[in-house]
C-alpha cells in the first residue's frame, strides 16, 4: 500500500438496488477501512430484501470503457482489486483483457475474486457457458478465489471432480483441488453453508504458495447468537459474502498476509452481523452494519 493516509481499492461487481450486497457493500466496506473505493459496474440487478427479481448484464463496451478510464488515471494508486459478479463471457473477456494490461504495470496488487454463481433467491449470476472463460482467462491472474460451499462444489464438478463438502477435512481437500485447477495463488472456501448440525461456521484457506491450510472457526451466529431486530428473529444477513471478500481486499491492500487478512475480515463481518439492522419487507433478513468497527479505524 502507498504511504498516503487513505488507501484505494477497485471493485468490479454488480449493482444491488437495495445496497446490501454487490458493489454497494464493497464500497461501504472500503470506506470503513479508510480506503477510497473505485467501481466498475458489471451488472445491474432489480433487487430488494425479498430477493433478486431481474439481472441486466452490462454491454462489453461499457465494462471495457469503465476499466479503461480507471486504469488510465489510477493505475499507480490502486492497492487492491475485488471482483464480484461477472455474469457472462463478454464481461469476463473485457475484465481479463484490461486486468492483464494492468498487471504489466502493477503485478504487486492483490486481486480477489468472489465467484458469485447463483443468488440466495435463485437468480443466475454466472451463465453456465461463462465458467470456461472464467477459469481459462481470469482465475490464473487472480490472487485469491473465495467460493462458498455450493460454489466450490459447482466449480469442482466443472473440473469433473465429484466431491461433497460436509466437514472441515472435505473443505481442505476441495480448496487444494480448486487451487490446482483454477491456477490462482490461494483459495478460501466459506463454510457458512455447512449443515445446521455444525455448531461452527469455519472458513478454510489453502495457501498455494506455502502449500498450507489455515482453518478459521467461529460460532454460527444463527445457532448460537440470538439476534432480534424490531421484534423479528433474524436468520439471514444480506451481503456477507461480498463484504467478506471486499474486507480481505482491504487488508491485503494494506500489506497484510492472506491468512491474517482472512482472520481480520471474518471478525469484521461478524461485528457487522451482530450490529445489523432491519429494513424492507423480509421478516428474516437483516442488513449488515458496515460501520460497526469504526472505532478501530479512527474514523
| pLDDT single digits (tens) 15-62 | 999 999 999 999 999 999 999 999 999 999 999 999 999 999 999 999
pLDDT at 198: 58
Q: Is residue 2 part of a domain?
A: no
Q: How do residues 117-127 score in pLDDT, each as one tens digit?
A: 988 777 889 99
How many C-beta atoms lie closer than 10 Å to residue 169's C-beta?
12
Query: φ, ψ for residue 188 (rounded to 5)?
Result: -120, 125
Q: Is residue 299 part of a domain?
A: no
Q: Above 60 in pLDDT, residue 199? A: no
What's the rounded Cα separation, in Å, for the pair 237 and 21?
10
Looking at the chain, the whole-number percentage of residues with pLDDT higher than 90 is 79
Q: Kind and range of the H or E element at 68? A: helix 60-74
Q: The cell 464480484 sits on which residue? A: 84
Q: Which of 17, 3, 1, 8 is nearest to 54 (CA)?
A: 17
Q: Is residue 298 part of a domain?
A: no
C-beta of residue 247 within 8 angstroms of C-beta of residue 29? yes
Q: How do residues 209-246 score in pLDDT, each as one tens digit?
A: 999 999 999 766 554 444 566 677 887 888 999 999 99
Question: Quick one: how far is CA 4 from the chain centroid?
Answer: 26
Q: Which of 36, 79, 37, 34 is nearest to 298 (CA)?
A: 34
pLDDT bucket at 4, cuts 50 / 70 / 90: confident
Q: How many domains does the chain have?
A: 1
Q: For the chain, what is the mean pLDDT?
A: 91
C-beta of residue 120 within 8 angstroms of C-beta of residue 236? yes
Range of the domain at 284: 7-293
pLDDT at 297: 43
Residue 131 grid coordinates? 465458467
Of 277 and 3, the structure prediction assigns the larger pLDDT to 277
Helix, strand, or coil (residue 16) = strand
Q: Is residue 196 part of a domain?
A: yes
Q: Is residue 1 part of a domain?
A: no
pLDDT at 298: 39
Q: What CATH number did the domain enclosing 158 receive?
A: 3.40.1190.20
What number of helices (H) and strands (E) belong to the chain?
9, 13
Mean pLDDT confidence for 93-101: 98
Residue 216 grid coordinates? 478459521
Amino acid at each position: 500500500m502507498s504511504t498516503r493516509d487513505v488507501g484505494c481499492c477497485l471493485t468490479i461487481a454488480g449493482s444491488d438496488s437495495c445496497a446490501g450486497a454487490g458493489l454497494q457493500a464493497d464500497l461501504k466496506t472500503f470506506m470503513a477501512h479508510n480506503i477510497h473505493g473505485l467501481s466498475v459496474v458489471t451488472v445491474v440487478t432489480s433487487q430488494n430484501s425479498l430477493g433478486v427479481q431481474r439481472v441486466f448484464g452490462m454491454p462489453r463496451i461499457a465494462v471495457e470503457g469503465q476499466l479503461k478510464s480507471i486504469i488510465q488515471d489510477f493505475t499507480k494508486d490502486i492497492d487492491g482489486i475485488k471482483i464480484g459478479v461477472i455474469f457472462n463471457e463478454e464481461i469476463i473477456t473485457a475484465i481479463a483483457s484490461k486486468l492483464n494490461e494492468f498487471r504489466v504495470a502493477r503485478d504487486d496488487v492483490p486481486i480477489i475474486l468472489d465467484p458469485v454463481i447463483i443468488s440466495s433467491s435463485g437468480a443466475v449470476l454466472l451463465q453456465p457457458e461463462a465458467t470456461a472463460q472464467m477459469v481459462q482467462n481470469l482465475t490464473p491472474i487472480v490472487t485469491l478465489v473465495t467460493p462458498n460451499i455450493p460454489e466450490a462444489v459447482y466449480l469442482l464438478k466443472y473440473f469433473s471432480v465429484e466431491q461433497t463438502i460436509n466437514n472441515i477435512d472435505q473443505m481442505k481437500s476441495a480448496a487444494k483441488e480448486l487451487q490446482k485447477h483454477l491456477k490462482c495463488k490461494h483459495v478460501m472456501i466459506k463454510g457458512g453453508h455447512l449443515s445446521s448440525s455444525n455448531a461452527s461456521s469455519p472458513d478454510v484457506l489453502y495457501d498455494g504458495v506455502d502449500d498450507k491450510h489455515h482453518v478459521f472457526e467461529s460460532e454460527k451466529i444463527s445457532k448460537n447468537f440470538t439476534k432480534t431486530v424490531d421484534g423479528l428473529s433474524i436468520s439471514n444477513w444480506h451481503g456477507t459474502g461480498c463484504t467478506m471478500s471486499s474486507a480481505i481486499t482491504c487488508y491485503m491492500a494494506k500489506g497484510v498476509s492472506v491468512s491474517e487478512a482472512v482472520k481480520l475480515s471474518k471478525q469484521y463481518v461478524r461485528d457487522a452481523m451482530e450490529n445489523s439492522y432491519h429494513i424492507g419487507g423480509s421478516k428474516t433478513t437483516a442488513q449488515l452494519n458496515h460501520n460497526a468497527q469504526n472505532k478501530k479505524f479512527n474514523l
